[in-house]
Amino acid sequence: MLRKRRRAAMAVAIVVLTTVPVLPTSGSVAAQNVPDQVLAWNQHAYDELILGPAAPWKSPVVSALHLAMVHGAIYDGVNAITGGYEPYLVAPAVADATDSEDAAAAAAGYQVLLDILKPPLILEADVPTVTARLQGYYDASLTAISNAGVSQSSIDGGVAVGNAAAQAMIAERTGDGRYGDPSFDVGFDVGEWRPLAEGLAGNNFYWVGQMVPFLVPDAAMFGTRGPNAVTSAKYTREFKRVKSLGAIDSTTRRADQTAMALFWADHAIGMWTRIFRQLSAANELSTAENARYFGMLYLTVGDAVIACNLDKAKWGFWRPTTAIREAATDGNPLTEADETWESLNPVPPYPEHPSGHNCGSWSIVETLKDFYGTNRMTFSATRTFLQPGPAPITRTFTRFSQAGREILRARVFGGLHFWTAEAQGARLGRRVANFRQAHYFQPE
């Protein structure tokens, strides 16, 4: 629980995010200018996993999984020293209350990122450069901690704790199903998903749904009710809505709805990570609080995307673009085909139901509400250069759920989803967050 003084401040915290793109450098400036090493290694992970050379694995889905690994280990390392909460995987026996929390965070983040940033995530040719950059981050972290007056024995103790937490995470995630079969089944019957063009089915992360979850015993326990029958009245209503509002040349979508769709087309985990960091700064979270905060957020969203991709494979439902172009053969006399229809936002090369953005984002919304003890929070965020599009778009929110409700609508306005996929994805994300709240990060 956070102190009452901080709780009172949270309701009025104002967060402003910038759009200046910063590519990874030596890491020295970031490590020395950030108030604690949880934030420093969150920035390093962001730089490497989202801005760095991890193509084609920069997807929000894959970024969420790896950030969960990084911050799960950081949480266990820091929490072993400070105490107060149950560990995620392990409470290293070497921990002592005099050990440096920041050194534990730096060591855990460094070791887990070293394990992640290797083939197939990055090219073999990039390994020496990335490894050297991580070493630079780590050296700068230890120098910054020492310069802050922390004794060498405290630093050494913290490093030992962080290394132990990292090794526990690496062992736990070895053979977890990452980088398996990428391809969802392709169907050719009414309602079945297929790629829009040849070659778009090869990088669609089917394997994510087959992974071992982080927190939940079985990702299938969060399965959705599924899409509407193509001949149903509800499907017909949703078909007409997305056809009208989601078209690239829509005459019914308002300017603010267009801005909403383009805004939330940014890299979802990148967007949320910037929000997490600024909320942390605005609410003056301590190192221990940051360790628990980021651990809760990323481990929860990691399981939400695993459960979501498992459900996508189960239903294999077609995207609105396919549905609209092929409506003449869907058996529904009330849907009218448009063979040239295009969505406002680019169509992802994997099945439609449920909405992945909503699965992940609503797990985040519920976790933010849980951590801060309130839904009321004023913050602003800016769409960055990570996705092609117009000039930067900034939107302001006064509640976490307000951002979630925008995402519910934005994916329809972007032409990517039917409403049912949005609503059921949001419910899946909330259910995963509720499970985490009931079973993990409990006070000791």
Residue 1 lies in a domain: no
Residue 4 lies in a domain: no
**Residue 11 pLDDT > 70:** no
Longest distance between any two alpha carbons in the chain, whole Å: 76
Q: Does residue 146 share a domain with residue 215? A: no
Q: Does residue 294 share a domain with residue 247? A: yes
Residue 435 lies in a domain: yes
Packing angle, helices 101-116 and 127-147, rounded to 10: 180
Q: Does residue 399 share a domain with residue 311? A: yes
Using a 10 angstrom Cβ sphere, with 0-12 exposed, 13-18 middle and 19 or more buried, the burial of residue 91 is: buried
What digits encode the pLDDT tens for the residues 162-211? Answer: 999 999 999 999 999 999 998 899 999 999 999 987 655 556 799 999 99
CA dist., res. 24 & res. 134, Å (int): 10
Domain of residue 348, CATH code: 1.10.606.20
CB-based contact 21:384 (threshold 8 Å) = yes
Residue 246 lies in a domain: yes
Tokens of 263: 């805004």
Using a 10 angstrom Cβ sphere, with 0-12 exposed, 13-18 middle and 19 or more buried, the burial of residue 358 is: buried
Q: Does residue 376 share a domain with residue 297? A: yes
Q: Which of 220, 209, 223, 207 shows the shortest CA–CA distance to 306?
A: 209
Percent of the chain with pLDDT over 90: 82
Q: Which of 53, 54, 103 shows the shortest CA–CA distance to 77?
A: 103
Residue 182 lies in a domain: no
| C-alpha distances out from residue 390 to 32, 47, 150, Å | 34, 23, 47
Q: Does residue 259 share a domain with residue 121? A: no
Q: Does residue 430 share a domain with residue 349? A: yes
Q: Does residue 421 share a domain with residue 280? A: yes
Q: Does residue 220 share a domain with residue 124? A: no
Q: How confident is the model at residue 390 (pLDDT cuts 50, 70, 90)?
A: low
Q: How confident is the model at residue 35 (pLDDT cuts 50, 70, 90)?
A: low
Residue 6 lies in a domain: no
Residue with tokens 């977890």: 176
Picking from 52-66, 201-215, 410-424, which range would have the lowest pLDDT averaged per residue?
52-66
CA dist., res. 72 & res. 189, Å (int): 42
CA-CA-CA-CA torsion for 388, 389, 392, 395, nearest 10 degrees? -110
Pair type for strands 14-15 and 376-382: parallel
Q: Does residue 226 share a domain with residue 122? A: no
Residue 204 confidence (pLDDT): 78
Exposure on the CB side of residue 363, measured as CA atoms within 13 A: 31
Residue 34 confidence (pLDDT): 53
Q: Does residue 214 share a domain with residue 162? A: no
Find the helix or strand (DSSP H, E) in which 370 lies.
helix 356-372
Chosen domain end from 156, 173, 190: 173
Sign for the CA dihedral angle at 311, 315, 318, 323 comes to negative
Residue 53 confidence (pLDDT): 72
- Mean pLDDT for the stretch of residues 40-65: 87
Chosen domain end from 114, 149, 173: 173
Q: Does residue 420 share a domain with residue 375? A: yes
Residue 272 confidence (pLDDT): 96
What DSSP character marks residue 14?
Answer: E
Tokens of 29: 């400036």
| Residue 68 domain boundaries | 23-173
Exposure on the CB side of residue 300, measured as CA atoms within 13 A: 32
Residue 138 confidence (pLDDT): 97
Q: How many domains does the chain have?
A: 2
Using a 10 angstrom Cβ sphere, with 0-12 exposed, 13-18 middle and 19 or more buried, the burial of residue 8 is: exposed
CA dist., res. 402 & res. 377, Å (int): 10
- Mean pLDDT for the stretch of residues 243-269: 95
Kindly give, in sequence order, each residue whose CB lies less than 8 Å from that of residue 299, ignoring residues fewer than 6 positions away.
68, 71, 72, 88, 214, 215, 436, 440
**Radius of gyration of the chain, Cα coordinates, nearest whole angstrom:** 22
CA dist., res. 158 & res. 291, Å (int): 14
Q: How confident is the model at residue 392 (pLDDT cuts 50, 70, 90)?
A: confident
Residue 330 lies in a domain: yes
CA dist., res. 432 & res. 301, Å (int): 8
Residue 15 confidence (pLDDT): 31
Residue 243 confidence (pLDDT): 98
| C-alpha distances out from residue 35 to 40, 133, 225, 285, Å | 8, 21, 45, 10
Packing angle, helices 60-82 and 356-372, rounded to 10: 20
Domain of residue 144, CATH code: 1.20.144.10
Chosen domain end from 129, 156, 173: 173
Tokens of 243: 């056809």
Q: Does residue 361 share a domain with residue 250? A: yes
Residue 166 lies in a domain: yes
